[in-house]
Amino acid sequence: MKHFILASTSTLFGENYLAYLQPAMKILYAGIEEIIFVPFARPGGISHDDYTARAAEAFSNIGVRVRGLHTFSDQAAAIKSAKGFFTGGGNTFLLVKQLHEQGLMHVLRDAVMTGAPYMGCSAGSNIGGLTMKNTNDMPIVYPPSFNTMGLVPFNLNPHYLDPIPGSQHMGETRETRIKEYHTQNNTPVIGLREGSWIYAKDNTLTLEGTLNARIFEAGKAPYEVPAGSSLAHLQ
């Protein structure tokens, strides 16, 4: 019954918010008139209201109304009765902290695992993994737990970047940081490049978009999988 999208980013360079995902969104949210938007990640410090308005404008293009989760007096009840969800990007630490402190992480997970369509972008995709440990974000707050929804049995690194030949940047690459992670953890990690997303429908799990994804498994050399590939071997 699962039906969800975990996307690397909300916006491709030079495009409007969620524009590249709208064909997939039409399929994901087919027949649904209104969804709940989770605005807690607050990119750039944007307010919950302003962030919800941004999402609502994008969803209006596919005929779906949006209501911010923050507007409900009983947010757990709202999640349980919602027909679908979208969680936007921003700071994953802030998003996870708020979901845990309000007792909503498991409520949202249960709703998605029992069939409510879900889409996450960036931070909203990070919470689809087992933990948020492979986020790129600064720890601006301290969440009670790094555990997330576990919609998939691996972690995500959205906005995955490859080393740039000739670059004079001396900091760690994304691959280096994920290798460090695997000295302490065994969970596989998918490096999602911009414009890529993971699509789940019932028991199928595929990589969508136009670019390869880079897969990291503890004790193995990283490898690439092309767009359109099944990710069943990671389930």
Catalytically annotated residues: 122, 137, 159
Burial label for 224, CB within 10 Å (0-12, 13-18, 19+), is exposed
Smallest CA-to-CA distance from 127 within 142, 115, 109 is with: 109
- Residue with the two structure tokens 């974000």: 137
Please tell me the distance from the alpha carbon of residue 127 to that of residue 156, in angstroms, as a whole number.
9
Please tell me the distance from the alpha carbon of residue 120 to that of residue 194, in angstroms, as a whole number.
14
β-sheet bridge partners, residue 119: 5, 86
Please tell me the distance from the alpha carbon of residue 38 to that of residue 55, in angstroms, as a whole number.
10
Q: Which residues contact 161 (CB under 8 A, 6 or more apart)?
A: 173, 174, 193
